[in-house]
Amino acid sequence: MAEEEREALVHLAAVVAHQLKSPLSAVQTVLSTVIGGFAGPLQPRQRWLLEKAWGRCTHGVSLVQDLLKLRSIEQMGDDALGPVNLLATFSMVVDSQADGARRRNVQVESFIDLTEPVHAWIHAERTVVGEAFAVVLDNAVRYSVDGGKVSARLYSEPMSEERGGGVQVCVEVVDAGIGIPPEGYTQIFAEFYRSPEARTMSPDGTGLGLAFASRAVRRLGGRIKLEPADTGGVRAVICFAHCPECATEAEAPLPSLDEPMDRDGEDGPSLRVVVVGGVTAGSKAAAKIMRCDPRARVTIVERGRFLAYSGCGLPYYVSGAVPEQRMLLETPLGLLKDPTSLYEHKRVRTMDLTEAVRIDRQQKTVWVRGLLGGEERELPYDRLILATGASAVVPDLEGSHLPGIYTLHGVEDAEAIRDELASGRVKEVIIVGGGLLGCQITEAVVLRGARLTLVEAGSAVLPIVDEEIGSLVRGELERHGVRVLTGRPVTGFEGEERVRAVRLGDGSTLPCDFVLLTAGLRPEAELAEQAGLKLGSSGAVAVDSTLRTSDPSIYAVGDCAEQLHLVTGIPTWSPGAAAASIQGRIAAVNACGGDESYPGLVETLIVKIFDWGVARTGLTEAQARDSGLAPVCAVVPGPDRAHFIPTAKSLVLKLVVDRESRRVLGAQAVGPGEVAKRIDTVATALMAGMTVDNLACLNLAYAPPYSMVMDNVIVAANVVRDKLTGAYSWISSGELNRRLARGEEVFLLDVRLPTEYGATRLRGSRHIPLATVRSHLRELPHDTPIVIVCSLGLRSYEASLILQQHGFDNTLVLDGGLDAWPFAVERLT
């Protein structure tokens, strides 16, 4: 086929692939959900057919993605190119292939043979180079025999005079696999070519990987070669010319130890700032310092590969809702937040894959160690900002380090988990820990078609909210097929080469293919502690309102630092990206001589769990009681906008108020409706120290498509005010459920309409519609507590007033009504 004809074919295929991408992904998601059993039980024959369809669909999705990547190479402009450090890229690719190699029982060995570390720099596009390397290494692993070995080597060597002299840096991958037939070497880079042996060993290939690698390397000015290896497999080599200018421009992550640090003019930099940690708070602080003082010299020390990525977006990358890793690393304008772009746009130096190992406060230096080469150097500072973040808690249990057990605390974790779930081999997944992350990640696992069990040691899931709200969340999880086990502590993990079961405290075991640990986080404060900085009671770094530590030259921000809780007035540790960004900015201003204060936080959190939003701000009722306060609460269900608007959805709001001061203490909201708006409103009230009376009079925006004429927050505030005046007595859903479980005598009075009562009801309840209560007074007991039930609580409140007028002193309104009742009901339709 002529070159022009082949290019036209590839172009046409890419256009078609673009149109097929979304439909195929949607079909794949639906098939995964059905195969996982979330649409009902399947017969063996049905499952076999669906799994076959899923496999073909997955192959189609891979083909579409490869075609789009292939075409994107031709559309890449020169403005996308810049300094790329092959040492970091090589290590990243080798690590990313580790899980796949382990599953195939293939050993991957890597070697670094650079004549000089600076030779690692080339002029290219980092993502494209990494994908080209990944294709070659993945092929070597994929086509190796069981127990085989793959060697990956990064080296530099002189280039021949015919090629201009200088130095070239190369990646060599050698395997001992099935090899390529002699005639195949002439076709190996052609689109869709696959040798017969490759088709037999891996029938799901697309035949586009090496075509992409070849085009990518040639587009970036490099060379790629495949040839027979002495091992019987294939030797693949990719080479690029070393770019001395790139090394100078980017300032390699680990310059030589004797390199002078002050080169910013005759007088040197105005301020030397070292930022330890380059994700949310650290990258924000570094960028702000350069805006405040362009002559400052700012160096970020980051032990990971990725800077300023969206950690909160990791579950959505796992689920496939965020299709590409790159999207988590980009700005809203599509700029990749990597060391090169940080230097180009902000003039911030970055030492990634580098760990800060100790702080010398007397000499004002930070000692750092390169994770690739192990060499150490010291960085002098005038100001030091600690943004070391938090790390995932791994319980010290038998078998906790078996392969197949993961945490989700970084891009690498998300990549590994996504790879596991996409493999098609994972059928049973167990999440250990029913907290914020544990509940959030359930949707990602279910969408990938796995059966899921969520195990929580405590009595309820999502302990960031109160009992009745957590019970509603549990119902939403179970409606989507998640098996929820509470009060079941995990005592160990079983398996030999891989985890195969989770052992519970009662001695039972749960079989599994994969485990995700979401047992919580802990502040990374070891570096600060070793330097003698004061820690708070939570183990995080103690700071003042300017975010200074006990050493005035050192600041701590983000997930490694304690902050003042504005409701309790007590320092607390509350990890979160939103607060970290604000703290990074304030610390930067103060490091440059400013005088800004961080007032504190109210712990505002929100998470998406399937079709629901779950949010909280301030204190829960339980936390308020533990703090010595006397909380009064209202649980108010209702639509999030005018009920006659077709887009209206329901939500349940719980408001917590202090009885004595009438100060608002917190709120929780759950449901498919717009919960964020309500929680943000209460969070603002908390920051302002408002009372429930202030809250009830807020002038909020109203139009039927956006809210009710009296917003949910205002309704909840008025309910609390009625309670504070003693207008009626109430009982929570949790307390009523406990009384019924204990067999206590309670008269359940349902005052809803007959059609409502005929659909769902509390077992044993007596139905008397509100309009007829007065005519049935003789049927009601005076010596037994009467719990009045309706849908939202309003009709129950009106019924209680009627009964009180007629001498019934022992009446209780079910708080939140049946619309907020999280336990079992009797359904008749």
Q: Is the distance from CB of 296 to CB of 273 less than 8 angstroms?
A: yes
State how far the Cα of 634 lies from the Cα of 655, in Å rounded to an integer: 5
Can you tell me the distance from the alpha carbon of 31 to that of 55, in angstroms, rounded to the nearest whole number?
Answer: 10
For residue 350, the SS3 value is: strand
Distance CA 503, CA 787 (A): 42
Spot the catalytic one: 57, 170, 312, 512. 312
Q: How many CB atoms are closer than 10 A to CB 111? A: 10
Q: Kindly give, in sequence order, each residue whose CB lies less than 8 Å from that of residue 545, ignoring residues fewer than 6 positions away.
A: 564, 597, 598, 599
Tokens representing 802 are 């009627």
Give the list of residues 6+ apart from residue 52 with CB closer than 8 angstroms, or none.
Answer: none
CB neighbours of 48 closer than 8 A, spacing ≥ 6? none
Q: Are 541 and 562 in contact (CB under 8 A)?
A: yes
Residue type, 230: D
Active site residue 790: no
Q: Cα–Cα distance between 555 and 563 in angstroms, integer?
A: 13
Say if strands 383-386 and 554-556 run parallel, antiparallel, or are unpaired: parallel
Query: Using CA atoms, how far apart are residues 350 and 339, in angstroms rounded to an integer?
Result: 6
Chain-centroid distance of CA 232 in Å reads: 43
CB atoms within 10 A of CB 104: 15
The CB-side HSE value for 332 (13 A sphere, CA atoms) comes to 0
Q: Is 295 left (phi over 0), alpha (psi -120 to 50) or beta?
A: alpha
Buried b (16+ CB within 10 A) or exposed e, 473-495: bbebbeebbbebbeebebeebbb
User: What are residue 330's phi and psi, to 5 degrees?
Assistant: -100, 155
Say if CB 601 and CB 617 are below 8 A apart.
no
Cα(282)–Cα(558) distance, integer angstroms: 8
DSSP string, 69-110: HHHHHHH--GGG-EEEEHHHHHHHHHHHTHHHHHHTT-EEEE
How far is the C-alpha of 114 from the C-alpha of 87, rounded, in Å?
9
Would you name the residues annotated as active-site residues? 312
